[in-house]
């Protein structure tokens, strides 16, 4: 061959001076920032449609959420559930699987936690009660998550459709159980639990009085750390991410793709299920029909904006919780439903910006050979 | 560069004239000043090895790509850089190697797609479409029932539909890309009949192929390409298959890792060690035997080379040996132990290493760092109680990077950011840097720069000296010849011949590769 | 149980499903995942009430309802086709966005967080049992019409081709993007008609009034194996189960929750291949690169 080595080599990088982490950071951070910008613009329009000043409304939003202890406590409470569902969705996505079933897994987990709290005797030590309730919640979520996992690995049924369908089935089952068997008359919730009631943030610092933030917040952060450790430090995480990135290569590397998928979706369900403790053990102390109310679906948004990184998910959960609580703070001037709109806008903007930003950033690096 | 008798006729305008075509994809130069000239009413063979730039040249003709420089003329008109639709309108029809047919639609539906006949403005006129198909079938001899579903057709029938499809759009210049790769011999004969009939009717046909027996049988003129350039244009009647083969492969300077490196009288290991395959049968996606009863052994301290035109079962053979494709019948043994039904991981433990043919799709996780790619497949040896020992991963990476000269020498770069040659070095480092007794090396130097080729060859020879059993599959004939102790040629899922490398030459192997010579496996 | 009242009630329940499922078939046959039907329906319902309220004419409401669905469909199309965003993610977001937008505008235009005022609508003749609603008749014929479009027109042929083998379609000069845009737009308008029917039948919009009907419709699409007629039969089957549940109410023979599960359970069974495997269009949801 007459060509020089430099010409023959494929995909040659002209320069290696750029630090690799910078490219990755750009790819990870630009989409959420673009989305935030788009959301702000949409927010302005909605606020203006109500004849209000965007600056004033945004200031009010910040004051009502991060500006006072109660508002901040509520943000933390809402972020806790979203962190669980966001971690659940992102765990599946790391293996290349889309778990849309976090909604029903969360509900099943809450239900199991409540049942356990009812069965345990009143004097059970908190640590033990919490542990048992969490195991029950995780188990229930994991059972729900294992169904699409089994159907996928055994029959090739697409997990997106199965998890959606399972949402309806599980929620209907829970509704049947609550409505028909285990509810306080005139309500759709169980009696209050005897054990496992979590201390609230207000018990530690009285300024948080009235807010629902509780010990589950710490559990959520610990779960995020555990997920991070598993994904990036454990062999299982190495294999799981490999399957998510390039299943063919993983198979070549001796990794059983089906086994990883089974594990990923089941544990995704476990994490979502554990999220049930925030409402049941930390807030209301009973299971109420419909308590998940979209937190599972919002978990998709949280995972997406958090770029599937456990700590990104925590931040994204905090962001979406702020939106939700902020809606209440501005409600007197602009209806809180504005935040429902912005949630949708953020998701679409991030989903759109992710492939586009990657294409633009990688376009500069030249095409790999086909 | 153009040699041979180029028939020039002043009075006739060429149907296709492409001149000085350059086309690059990133750093790869697919065409470098390539040229081709085809007269109307002839069957022209465009031959060359894989990656010689034939398909790229024809894609430019069909408007699927634009050339970086050069001229394209069709029937005397300058059409450089035209679009697909313009090419179709001008009568160019490309029959792709991978069928462009919608499997769930009928023959007639596939034919009229994009140019549907209508009645009452909106309704698809099926009767009209079916009649057109039948008429065209009768004219060309390409008989096929218009209402049949594509998914029910045999490969040969599907190809008939492909040809009908371009004719239906009024093509007078047909380009067929490797049309016989998937056909049985009777189907091939049938295709030739059709092509001759079309030529006699005045159509122009370009056949992309690397099967020389076909070229000689069907074509009027031949253009030979090598490494993106046109090396010859000859009249078929004025040449021989051997000469075409020589032009295709070229008289390259022999590689640095030549036969002279082979020590003579090297001790080979005991006969029950190494790799053994017994009557292996592997099924392909269409229920055909892609590996049809192959048996061989690779002893410790031996390199067994498999040559052959790609697509004759080499990929499937390696995948079956590596545990990535189920074995229909037969046995695979490593050091005497039957591993036919073992998983990939269990084969690793039995001492199998594998350099896959496609490093980007199989060999590397492009988003992972070099360090993490270097432990793929052996990750369990780099972890204790489920936790990966990152210190050891980094130590391993630093060591492999320096001993395999991976550049840039930075273990935390993603594999994606490395050049092709360095990506391949990562794969080679991983597979050869660990404990193994048998190595499957599939296209180990594909798309790799000259320096890396030399390096990888030396690694293979060193491993042989250490008593490893190595199975080498390569499309580069000279690579197989330079490294192997024994060579086999694969042709349509079988070994056409097995012989000591010392007795083999490019000319001899070439004839087995293209099927003009069929021997018995020694 | 009166068989005539059973059938009429079943048809009334099935109409929104029939519209939305027809839309879902078109989009999915073109290769675009239709988790968006719920959002398209909801936006159609709201826009219909808005148009009717300000014009006084339900026909204007139908037009504005279709337009509402079209707008959401175009958002979906631009994100997934132009920008190649993940169809599942955007689909989920479209549904959330539709809930948010309808709630926000409910507040803005009608100063309510639960429902709109009563508007003009169709039907109302008690003796006609809902069959004096022109949209009901449209709903009955929509599936056969879509079957005709998909199997007998050039557009339908192109839809089937791009959902199955986009490269083949592109190689013969069919613009995959254009066909997909058209298919998603059509699905948005059809699904919106399902929402329009609901809203104008009830003469008002209520928050989240589609209540998961879009997901029943997508279940029907899958259970009907992406065929308009089979999907329509699935809609009727699901509607029959619901009707049965309503008419058996009080007898407590089967808990209503179990009737609700039927469509979803059938889909899972179909996907698992227990009774003839449901195979989606080959290019469904795939992002080309």
Question: Which region among B363-367, B452-456, B463-467, B508-512 has the lowest average model confidence (pLDDT)?
Answer: B508-512
How many CB atoms neighbour CB A308 within 10 A? 21
Q: Is it the case that residue C107 has pLDDT exceeding 60?
A: yes
Contact B368 A3 (CB under 8 A): no
Write down which chains contact chain B via at least 3 CB pairs under 8 A: A, C
pLDDT given at position A110: 95
Q: What share of chain C is helix, strand, coil (3-state, %, to 5)?
A: 70, 0, 25
Residues 141-160 of A with CB under 8 A from C: 151, 154-155, 157-158, 160
| Inter-chain Cβ pairs, chain A and chain B, closer than 8 A | 128
Counting Cα atoms < 13 Å in the Cβ hemisphere of B22 gives: 5
Q: Are strands B469-473 and B302-307 parallel, antiparallel or unpaired?
A: parallel
Instruction: Measure CB to CB from residue B28 to each of A253, A255, A369 and give the nearest one.
Output: A369
Closest residue of chain B to C162, computed from CA coordinates: B102
Superfamily of domain B276-513: P-loop containing nucleotide triphosphate hydrolases (3.40.50.300)
What's the CA gap between C217 and C231, in Å, rounded? 8
Q: Which of B94, B103, B169 sits opposite C164 (nearest CB)?
A: B103
List CB contacts of A197: < 8 A, sequence separation 6 or more: A117, A126, A281, A285
A357 HSE (CA, 13 A, CB side)? 19
Model confidence band, residue B359 (pLDDT cutoffs 50, 70, 90): confident
Tens digits of per-residue pLDDT, A217-261? 999 999 999 999 999 999 999 999 999 999 999 999 999 999 999
Model pLDDT for residues A205-215, shown as the tens digit of each residue: 888 888 888 99
Mean pLDDT of C254-279: 78
The residues near C97 (Cβ < 8 Å, ≥ 6 apart) are: A341, A343, A344, A345, A347, A348, C39, C72, C75
Identify the structural domains of chain A with CATH numbers, from first to last: 68-353 (1.10.3470)
Bridge partners of residue B332, in order along the sequence: B277
* Option in C101, C257, C271 nearest A161 (CB): C271
Confidence of residue B312 (pLDDT cuts 50, 70, 90): confident
Measure Cα distances from A179 to A175, A242, B147 in Å: 6, 44, 56
Residue A146 structure tokens? 């294992």
CATH 3.40.50.300, domain B1-91+174-180+204-250, yes or no = yes
Q: Do B105 and C172 touch (CB under 8 A)?
A: no
Same fold for the pair B1-91+174-180+204-250 and B276-513? yes
Residue C70 main-chain phi, psi, to 5 deg: -65, -40
Count the alpha carbons within 13 Å of C190 in the hemisphere toward its beta carbon.
31
The whole-angstrom distance between residue A98's C-alpha and the CA centroid of its chain comes to 12
Interchain proximity C172–B100, CB inside 8 Å: yes
CA torsion angle for A109, A115, A116, A122 (degrees, to 10)?
140
Cβ pair A95, A269 in contact under 8 A: no
Q: Break chain B into its structural domains and give their ranges.
A: 1-91+174-180+204-250, 276-513
CA–CA distance, B244 with B223 (Å, rounded to integer): 10
d(CA C180, CA C168): 15
Most trustworthy range by pLDDT among B353-357, B401-405, C221-225:
B353-357
Q: How confident is the model at residue B55 (pLDDT cuts 50, 70, 90)?
A: confident
Which one is predicted more confidently, A184 or B398?
A: B398
Rounded to the nearest angstrom, the minimum Cα separation between C124 and chain A is 32
Residue B417 in this model has a pLDDT that exceeds 90? no
Question: Which of C156, C158, C166, C168 is the best residue to mutate to test the B interface, defined by the most B CB atoms within 10 Å of its own CB?
Answer: C168
DSSP β-bridge partners for residue B304: B471, B486
For residues C197-220, average pLDDT: 92
Question: Can you give the pLDDT at residue B7?
Answer: 47
Domains of chain C: 3-272 (1.10.3470)
CB distance B440 to B464 below 8 Å? no
Q: Does residue B267 carry a pLDDT above 60?
A: no
Q: Terminal CA-to-CA distance of chain B, rounded, Å?
A: 40
Question: Which string of b and e fits B77-113 if b means at least 16 CB within 10 Å?
Answer: eebeebebeebbebbbbbbbbebbbbbbbbbbbbbbb
Q: In what order do the strands lie in the sheet with B275-283?
A: B289-298, B275-283, B329-334, B337-338
Given a cut of 70, whether residue B26 has pLDDT beyond it is no
Closest listed residue to residue B21, CA positions, set B8, B37, B42: B37
Tell me, yes or no, if A356 comes closer than 8 A to chain C by beta carbon.
Answer: yes
Residue B127 contacts C, CB cutoff 8 Å:
no
Residues of B in contact with C157 (CB under 8 A): 105, 109, 112-113, 116, 124
Question: Encoding tokens for residue B70?
Answer: 């050069």
Which residue among C96, C100, C212 sits closest to A168, beta carbon to beta carbon?
A: C212
Q: How far does Cα B1 stand from its chain's mean position?
A: 26
How many CA atoms within 13 Å lie on the side-chain side of B489? Answer: 26
Q: How far apart are CA C278 and CA C274, in angstroms?
A: 10
Taking residue A129's Cβ as centre, other Cβ atoms within 10 Å add up to 23
Mutate which of C33, C111, C115, C257 to disrupt the A interface (most A C-beta within 10 Å)?
C257
Q: Which has the closest alpha carbon to A310: A134, A90, A22?
A: A90
Token pair recorded at residue A324: 């939700």
**DSSP structure string for B191-219:** HHHHHHHHHHTT-EEEEEE--HHHHHHH-
Q: What is the pLDDT of residues C132-150, one digit of tens each?
A: 888 999 999 999 999 999 9
User: C260–A168: do the CB atoms touch at under 8 Å?
Assistant: yes
Q: How many CB atoms lie within 10 A of CB B374?
A: 29
Q: Search chain A and give the residue with CA nearest B390.
A: A233
CA A113 to chain centre: 19
Distance from CA of B200 to the nearest CA of A (A): 38
Q: Which chains touch A (3 or more CB pairs under 8 A)?
A: B, C
d(CA C36, CA A348): 13
**pLDDT band at B271, cuts 50/70/90?**
low
Nearest-by-CA chain A residue for C78: A352
Crossing angle of the two packed helices C213-223 and C37-55, in degrees rounded to 10: 130
* Cβ-proximal residues to C240 (8 Å cutoff; 6+ apart), any chain: C10
Confidence at residue C1, expressed as pLDDT on a 0 to 100 scale: 65
Q: pLDDT: is B271 or C203 the higher one?
A: C203
| ipTM for this prediction | 0.90
Q: pLDDT confidence of A203, banded at 50, 70, 90?
A: confident
Cα–Cα distance, B253 to A137 (Å, whole number): 70
Judge whether residue A166 has pLDDT over 90: yes
Would the pLDDT of B68 be above 70? yes
Task: Report the mean per-residue pLDDT for chain B.
Answer: 85
The candidate with the shortest Cα–Cα distance to B513, out of B209, B230, B59, B218, is: B209
Q: What tokens appear for A117 in the block? A: 């709290």
Rounded mean pLDDT, B183-200: 84
Contact C108 A335 (CB under 8 A): yes
Please say whether the beta carbons of C32 and C78 come within 8 A: no
A339 φ, ψ (degrees, to nearest 5): -70, -30
pLDDT for A86-137, tens place per residue? Answer: 999 999 999 999 999 999 999 999 999 999 999 998 888 999 999 999 999 9
Query: Least CA distance to B101: which residue of chain C?
Result: C168
Identify which of A1, A252, A370 has the shortest CB distance to residue B362: A252
The helix or strand, by DSSP H or E, that contains position C248, with its residue range, turns out to be none
pLDDT score of C25: 97
Q: Which residue has the higher pLDDT, A203 or B437?
A: B437
**Portion of chain B with pLDDT greater than 70, in percent:** 90
Q: Could you tell me the pTM of the whole model?
A: 0.86
- Helix count (H) and strand count (E) of chain C? 11, 0
- Local confidence band at B421 (pLDDT 50, 70, 90 cut-offs): confident
Please tell me which residue, B404 or B248, carries the higher pLDDT value: B404
In DSSP notation, A90-103 reads HHHHHTT-----HH
Inter-residue contact B100 to B162 (CB < 8 Å): yes
Neighboring chain A residues of C261 at a CB cutoff of 8 Å: 168-169, 172-173
- Name the residue with higher pLDDT: B284 or B481: B481
The tokens describing B255, both together, are: 């590689």
CB A230 within 8 A of CB A298: no
Confidence of residue C245 (pLDDT cuts 50, 70, 90): confident
Instruction: Evaluate if residue B242 carries a pLDDT over 80.
Output: no
CB contact under 8 A, B417 and A236: no
Q: Is the pLDDT reported for residue B345 higher than 50?
A: yes
What's the helix, strand, coil split of chain A in %, to 5? 75, 0, 25
Chain position carrying tokens 């690793």? B348
Residues of chain B positioned with their CB less than 8 A from the CB of A238: 372, 379, 388
Task: Locate the chain A residue with the closest alpha carbon to B319.
Answer: A252
pLDDT at residue B286 in the model: 64
Structure tokens at A215: 């010990």
Q: Please check whether residue A237 is in contact with residue A231, taking contact to mean a CB–CB distance below 8 angstroms.
A: yes
At C26-60, the pLDDT tens digits run 999 999 999 999 999 999 999 999 999 999 899 99
CB pairs under 8 A between A and C: 137
Q: What is the mean pLDDT of residues B357-366?
A: 90
């Amino acid at each position: 061959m007459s060509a020089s080595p430099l010409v023959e080599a494929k995909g040659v990088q002209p320069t290696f001076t750029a630090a690799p982490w910078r490219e990755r950071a750009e790819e990870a951070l630009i989409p959420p920032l673009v989305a935030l910008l788009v959301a702000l613009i949409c927010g302005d329009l909605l606020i203006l449609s109500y004849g209000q000043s965007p600056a004033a409304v945004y200031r009010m939003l910040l004051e009502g959420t991060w500006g006072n202890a109660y508002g901040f406590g509520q943000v933390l409470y809402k972020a806790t559930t979203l962190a669980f569902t966001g971690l659940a969705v992102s765990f599946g996505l790391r293996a290349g699987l889309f778990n849309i079933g976090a909604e029903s897994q969360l509900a099943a987990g809450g239900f199991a936690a409540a049942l356990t709290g009812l069965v345990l005797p009143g004097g059970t030590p908190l640590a033990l009660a919490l542990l048992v309730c969490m195991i029950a919640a995780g188990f229930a979520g994991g059972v729900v998550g294992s169904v699409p996992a089994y159907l996928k690995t055994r029959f090739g049924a697409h997990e997106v459709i199965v998890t959606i369908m399972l949402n309806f089935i599980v929620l209907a089952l829970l509704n049947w159980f609550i409505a028909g068997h285990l509810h306080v008359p005139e309500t759709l919730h169980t009696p209050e639990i005897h054990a496992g009631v979590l201390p609230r943030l207000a018990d530690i610092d009285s300024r948080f009085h009235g807010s629902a933030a509780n010990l589950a917040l710490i559990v959520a952060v610990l779960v995020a750390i555990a997920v991070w450790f598993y994904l990036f430090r454990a062999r299982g995480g190495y294999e799981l991410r490999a399957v998510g990135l390039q299943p063919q290569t993983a198979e070549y590397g001796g990794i059983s793709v089906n086994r990883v998928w089974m594990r990923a979706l089941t544990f995704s369900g476990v994490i979502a299920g554990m999220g049930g403790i925030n409402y049941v053990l930390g807030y209301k102390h009973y299971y109420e029909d419909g308590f998940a109310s979209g937190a599972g679906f919002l978990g998709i948004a949280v995972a997406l904006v958090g770029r599937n990184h456990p700590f990104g998910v925590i931040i994204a959960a905090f962001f979406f919780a702020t939106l939700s609580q902020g809606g209440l703070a501005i409600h007197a001037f602009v209806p809180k439903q504005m935040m429902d709109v912005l949630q949708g806008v953020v998701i679409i903007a991030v989903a759109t910006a992710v492939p586009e930003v990657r294409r633009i950033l990688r376009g500069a690096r030249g095409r790999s050979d086909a | 560069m153009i040699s041979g008798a180029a028939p020039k006729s002043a009075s006739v305008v060429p149907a296709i004239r492409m001149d000085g075509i350059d086309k690059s994809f990133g750093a790869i130069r697919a065409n470098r000043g390539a040229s081709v000239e085809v007269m109307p009413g002839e069957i022209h063979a465009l031959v060359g090895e894989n990656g010689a730039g034939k398909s790229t040249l024809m894609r430019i003709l069909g408007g699927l790509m634009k050339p970086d420089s050069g001229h394209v003329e069709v029937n005397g008109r300058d059409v450089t850089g035209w679009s697909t639709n313009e090419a179709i309108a001008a009568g160019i029809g490309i029959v792709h190697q991978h069928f462009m047919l919608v499997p769930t639609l009928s023959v007639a539906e596939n034919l009229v797609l994009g140019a549907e006949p209508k009645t009452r403005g909106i309704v698809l006129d099926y009767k009209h479409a079916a009649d057109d198909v039948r008429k065209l079938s009768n004219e060309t001899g390409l008989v096929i029932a218009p209402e049949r579903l594509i998914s029910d057709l045999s490969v040969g029938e599907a190809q008939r539909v492909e040809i009908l499809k371009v004719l239906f759009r009024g093509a007078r210049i047909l380009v067929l890309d490797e049309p016989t790769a998937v056909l049985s011999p009777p189907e091939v004969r049938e295709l030739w009949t059709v092509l001759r009939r079309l030529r006699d009717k005045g159509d122009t046909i370009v056949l992309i192929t690397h099967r020389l027996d076909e070229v000689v049988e069907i074509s009027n003129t031949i253009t030979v390409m090598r490494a993106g350039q046109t090396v010859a244009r000859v009249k078929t009647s004025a040449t021989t298959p051997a000469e075409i083969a020589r032009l295709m492969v070229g008289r390259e300077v022999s590689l640095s890792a030549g036969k002279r490196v082979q020590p003579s009288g090297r001790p080979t290991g005991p006969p029950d060690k190494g790799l053994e395959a017994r009557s292996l049968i592997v099924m392909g996606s269409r229920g055909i035997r892609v590996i049809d009863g192959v048996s061989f052994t690779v002893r410790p301290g031996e390199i067994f080379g498999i040559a052959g035109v790609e697509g004759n079962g080499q990929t499937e053979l390696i995948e079956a040996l590596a545990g990535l494709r189920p074995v229909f019948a037969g046995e695979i043994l490593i050091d005497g132990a039957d591993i036919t039904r073992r998983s990939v991981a269990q084969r690793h433990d039995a001492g199998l290493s594998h350099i896959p043919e496609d490093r980007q799709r199989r060999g590397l996780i492009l988003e992972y760092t070099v360090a993490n790619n270097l432990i793929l497949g052996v990750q369990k040896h780099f972890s204790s109680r489920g936790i990966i020992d990152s210190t050891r991963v980094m130590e391993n990476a630093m060591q492999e990077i320096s001993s395999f000269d991976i550049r840039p020498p930075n273990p935390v770069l993603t594999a994606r950011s490395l050049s092709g040659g360095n990506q391949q070095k990562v794969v080679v480092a991983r597979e050869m840097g660990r404990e193994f007794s048998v190595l499957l090396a599939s296209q180990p130097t594909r798309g790799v720069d000259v320096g890396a080729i030399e390096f990888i060859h030396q690694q293979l020879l060193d491993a042989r000296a250490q008593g490893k059993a190595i199975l080498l599959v390569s499309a580069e004939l000279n690579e197989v010849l330079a490294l192997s102790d024994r060579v086999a040629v694969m042709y349509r899922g079988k070994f056409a011949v097995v012989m000591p490398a010392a007795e083999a030459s490019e000319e001899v192997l070439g004839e087995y590769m293209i099927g003009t010579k069929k021997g018995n496996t020694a | 149980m009166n068989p005539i009242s059973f059938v009429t009630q079943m048809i009334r329940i099935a109409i929104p499903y029939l519209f939305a499922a027809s839309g879902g078939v078109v989009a999915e046959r073109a290769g675009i995942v239709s988790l968006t039907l719920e959002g398209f329906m909801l936006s159609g319902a709201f826009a219909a009430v808005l148009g009717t309220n300000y014009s006084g004419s339900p026909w204007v409401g139908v037009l504005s309802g279709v337009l509402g669905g079209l707008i959401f469909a175009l958002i979906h199309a631009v994100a997934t086709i132009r920008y190649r965003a993940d169809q599942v993610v955007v689909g989920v977001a479209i549904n959330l966005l539709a809930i948010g937008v309808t709630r926000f505008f409910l507040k803005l235009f009608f100063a309510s967080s639960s429902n709109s005022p009563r508007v003009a609508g169709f039907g109302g003749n008690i003796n006609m049992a809902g069959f004096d609603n022109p949209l009901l008749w449209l709903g009955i014929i929509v599936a056969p019409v879509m079957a005709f479009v998909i199997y007998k027109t050039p557009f339908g042929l192109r839809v089937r081709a791009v959902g199955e083998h986009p490269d083949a379609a592109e190689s013969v000069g069919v613009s995959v993007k254009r066909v997909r845009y058209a298919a998603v737009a059509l699905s948005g308008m059809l699904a919106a008609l399902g929402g329009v029917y609901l809203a104008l039948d009830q003469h008002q919009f209520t928050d989240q009034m589609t209540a998961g009907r879009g997901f029943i419709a997508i279940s029907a699409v899958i259970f009907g194996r992406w065929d308009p007629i089979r999907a329509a039969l699935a809609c009727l089957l699901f509607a029959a189960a619901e009707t049965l549940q309503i008419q058996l109410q009080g007898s407590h023979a089967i808990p209503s929750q179990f009737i609700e599960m039927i469509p979803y359970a059938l889909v899972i069974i179909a996907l698992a291949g227990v009774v003839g495997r449901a195979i989606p269009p080959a290019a469904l949801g795939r992002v080309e690169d």
